Structures are given as C-alpha cells and as structure tokens.
Amino acid sequence: MLPITFPNGLKKAFTLSYDDGCYDDLRLIEMMEKYGVRGTFNVSSGITRPEGQEPCGSWERLTLSERQAYRRDGVEVAVHGQTHRDFTRISEPELIYEIMGDKQALESEFGCLVRGAAYPYGSFNDLSVERLKNCGIKYCRTVWSDHSMALPSDWLRLRPTAHHNDPELPGIIDSFISGQQPAPDRPSALKMLYIWGHTPEFRRDGNWQMMEDYLGRLAGRDDVWYATNLEICEYALAANALEYSADGRIVHNPTAKTVWLDDRGNAVKVEPDETVGV
C-alpha cells in the first residue's frame, strides 16, 4: 500500500478554528484573506448582537448582517451549539436541539451544508459524540491541544495542535515549516497544523500582531495545503475509504473525491470510482 498524501501530493496542511461568532472574527477573516489561509468559525447561531448596537463588551457577538462575512471563500461555518450550552449538562432532547437547531439555522442562513462542529466549553461525553454523528456531523473539535500534527484517528474527538497563545506554538510552527518528521510515537507522514482560539482573546491580550506574524510565516508556501477543517476531514475520510487488493498493488477509490498517493516521491492520483495499479 502506498502512503496517502494531501491533494496534489502535498504532505502538510494548515487550518484555523475560532469559536463563538464574535465581532473580532471580522478582523481575523480579513487577515486570512490577506494571507490566503483558510479556516473554520464555530458559531452559536442563536446568540447575536442586535443590529445597530455598537460592540462594547469584550466578547461581543456579530450581528446577523455582519455574519455575512462568513460567506467568503476559505471560510467554513460550523456548529457550536445553538445557544452555547455545555453538551454534558443538558438532557438528550436539549442536546439534539443544540446540535440540529444550530446546524439548521446556519444552513438556512448561509445556504450551505454544515458538517463540522466544536464543543462549547470543550465539554463532551460519549452521548454527545454519538448524537453529533447521528446529526450528520463529521468532526468536532475539543480544546485538548496536544501539540501533535498527526491526522486524528477520531474526528469526533478532534484534538487541535495548539491554542494561538500556547508558548510552544512558535517552535511547532518552525518544525512544521522546516519539515522535521513527527515524533516516533506519532508516526504519520502527513502533518496538519491546527491552531484554535477565540478572536476576542487577541483584543484582550493585545496580540493581534503575534497572529499576523504567525500567518505571515505560514502563508504562501507551495508545500502547504491551506484548507478549512471540513476540507481536511472529508479528504482524510475519503483516503481512509480506499480499497486495496490483497497484495496492496491495486487500489479502488469508492468515494466522490480524488485521492492522492505517494509512490516514492511521485504523486499518484486516484480519481473517484477509479481502480488503478500501483
């Protein structure tokens, strides 16, 4: 079996994940557009700031009209609980409402199919994982940063690489850029650098410039796939769905996505429904 790569033979992916649908998301979206990076905003659709009211608090949400900024290319909207309730402290009907209510509202607001999520407060249990799966959610991000850049084995318990304030992040970015191999206990040829946070933290901590510096270092690299959370998740799920002959020399792609393999440095493309010898 040949190892998988990201699209076009790339072996590194970079993505962002920011929670709560806050006013400061607008500034991050501008920055993402400037640097050509892509990412995901996890929005509690039921919590908005009234139209015409100036943002005055430290954790102000966007108005409905301001939320149109999430329509830009490179921006994914994802579930964060309709009213941001802790998934482990509510009844099962309330849990389903928090997931499906948010999914439905975001889908009707943005005219898209929402398949991603992040846990409010980072809280989850087995029941919330199961209900997310039942509701058609493909991945859900926790707040357990583990400094790993390996692809997750469980996308519904997704661990980010680091929060943007993590003191180890500059070193992790160095390692991502220089292409050092992951630690032996994380044997994966593919690297996903996944940074998360809340945009009001930049205002609170006065460190927008730090984030801009990070994006400036990470942007414009021809060996990096810039993608939203869902784009990476769905690609990985498609790659995991490949079917192989007993000797691993014939591969079939039963999915609707093109998947790429690495044949000793050469990128091999396996188109949807294609069967190829490798």
Q: Considering beta carbons, is residue 19 or 201 the nearer one to Zn ion?
A: 19
* 102 touching Zn ion, by CB under 5 A: no
CA angle 71, 68, 103 (to 5 degrees): 70
Please state the closest distance from residue 122 (CB atom) to Zn ion, in A: 8
Positions in 192-231 near Zn ion (CB under 5 A): none
Q: Considering beta carbons, is residue 87 or 225 the nearer one to Zn ion?
A: 87
Q: How many residues does the chain have?
A: 278
For residues 197 and 139, give the distance between their C-alpha atoms in angstroms, rounded to a whole number: 17
Q: Considering beta carbons, is residue 11 or 164 the nearer one to Zn ion?
A: 164
* Contact window for Zn ion (CB under 5 A) among 1-9, 14-22, 156-164, 179-187: 14-22
Site size for Zn ion (CB under 5 A): 3
For residues 22 and 19, give the distance between their C-alpha atoms in angstroms, rounded to a whole number: 8
State the DSSP code for 70: G
Positions in 108-147 near Zn ion (CB under 5 A): 120
The residue of the chain with the least Cβ separation from Zn ion equals 19
If we measure between CA atoms, which residue out of 32, 76, 39, 40 comes closest to residue 211? 32
Pairing of strands 250-252, 275-277: antiparallel
Q: Considering beta carbons, is residue 99 or 261 the nearer one to Zn ion?
A: 99
Please state the closest distance from residue 120 (CB atom) to Zn ion, in A: 5
For residues 102 and 174, give the distance between their C-alpha atoms in angstroms, rounded to a whole number: 37
* 60 touching Zn ion, by CB under 5 A: no
Tokens of 97: 């409402």
Phi/psi zone of residue 191: left (φ > 0), alpha (ψ -120 to 50 degrees), beta?
Answer: beta
- Report phi then psi at 242, rounded to 5: -60, 145
Please state the closest distance from residue 224 (CB atom) to Zn ion, in A: 27
Please state the closest distance from residue 84 (CB atom) to Zn ion, in A: 6
CA distances, 41 to each of 12, 182, 196, 217 (Å): 21, 27, 10, 22
- Classified as helix, coil or strand, 54 is coil
* Contact window for Zn ion (CB under 5 A) among 18-26, 98-106, 160-168, 257-265: 18-26
Q: Considering beta carbons, is residue 152 or 200 the nearer one to Zn ion?
A: 200
- Classified as helix, coil or strand, 140 is strand
* Contact window for Zn ion (CB under 5 A) among 16-24, 98-106, 127-135, 173-181: 16-24
- Classified as helix, coil or strand, 25 is helix
For residues 128 and 203, give the distance between their C-alpha atoms in angstroms, rounded to a whole number: 32
Please state the closest distance from residue 20 (CB atom) to Zn ion, in A: 4
* 20 touching Zn ion, by CB under 5 A: yes
Q: Considering beta carbons, is residue 137 or 238 the nearer one to Zn ion?
A: 137
* 234 touching Zn ion, by CB under 5 A: no
Q: Considering beta carbons, is residue 5 or 17 the nearer one to Zn ion?
A: 17
Q: Residues 12, 15, 19, 24: which binds Zn ion (CB under 5 A)?
A: 19
Residues that bind Zn ion (CB under 5 A): 19-20, 120
